[in-house]
A and B are shown apart, each in its own frame.
Chain A
Amino acid sequence: MNVFRLCGDMSHVFSIVVLLLRLRVAKNASGISLRTHELFLLVFLTRYTDLFTTYYSLYNSCMKIAYILSTASIVYMIRLSDPICTTYDKAQDTFRHWAFAVGPCAVLATLTHFISGEGSGYSLFVNIQELLWTFSIYLESIAILPQLILLQRYREVENLTGNYIFFMGSYRALYILNWIYRTYYEPGYRHHYVAYFCGVLQTLLYADFFYYYMQSKRRGGRFSLPT
């Protein structure tokens, strides 16, 4: 554990807390994409199957469970919890996440899994677990897209929603620093190039948002995206 990874994780947790608070306190889900959070839930469920098979640390296990539970509760609130669910604007949340996110990621994960030859010689169960891990890495990199597209529609971005996306983006940017750090200071550190590639892609998707976020913070004014 290094300082970049810890800050990255804390940034991730913080973004989730910001969103949970926003939903609970404002009792309002407008401007929030349910599809993004369903994608994140799928990401966590497919990546953390190792909760049952590999123990890394108490920290790791607790965080994994916390991510799954908190994201599940976000999805539950937006979908079912009255009165929040009545404020969810389904008509605006239109990114076709099955066709353009889940499907392509599943295909890509299958291809990389078999082309890389990873998993050959391992049991079917381990192979499926590896495949799901790779799928989750791909899917996480683009899971924010429905949310970013929804924001483009509204343009005027609420403070808390803006902060949520900012911390969510910072999390993966900090992970990149963590990978660089580990490459230098951990002998025998195993590289996962799919994770690196997706981590960079994921961070780049936030770049444009970061730019307008910073500008609005500097002006101290309201945050709106350009047309």
Chain B
Amino acid sequence: LKDGGSKDEL
């Protein structure tokens, strides 16, 4: 759920 997409952005 947390991984990938814009969630690895700031």
Q: Which residues of A contact B (CB under 8 A)?
A: 5, 9, 12, 50, 53-54, 56-57, 60, 63-64, 67, 118-119, 122, 126, 129-130, 133, 175, 178-179, 188-192, 195-196
Contacts and interface: CB of A to CB of B under 8 A. Distances in A.
A63 B10 contact: yes
A16 to B, nearest CB: 12
Contact of B3 (A12, A54, A179, A196): A54
B8 A56 contact: yes
Contact of A118 (B1, B3, B8): B1
Given A9-B10, A60-B10, A50 B5 contact: no
A188 B1 CA distance: 14
Contacts, number: 41
Q: How large is the interface on B (under 10, 10 to 19, 20 to 34, 35 or more residues)?
A: 10 to 19
The prevalent SS among residues of A at the interface is helix
Contacts of A50: 2, 7
A126 B1 contact: yes
Contacts of A126: 1-2
A50 B3 CA distance: 11
Contacts of B4: 188-190
A67 B9 CA distance: 13
B2 A53 contact: yes
A72 B3 CA distance: 27
B5 A133 contact: no
A12 B1 contact: no
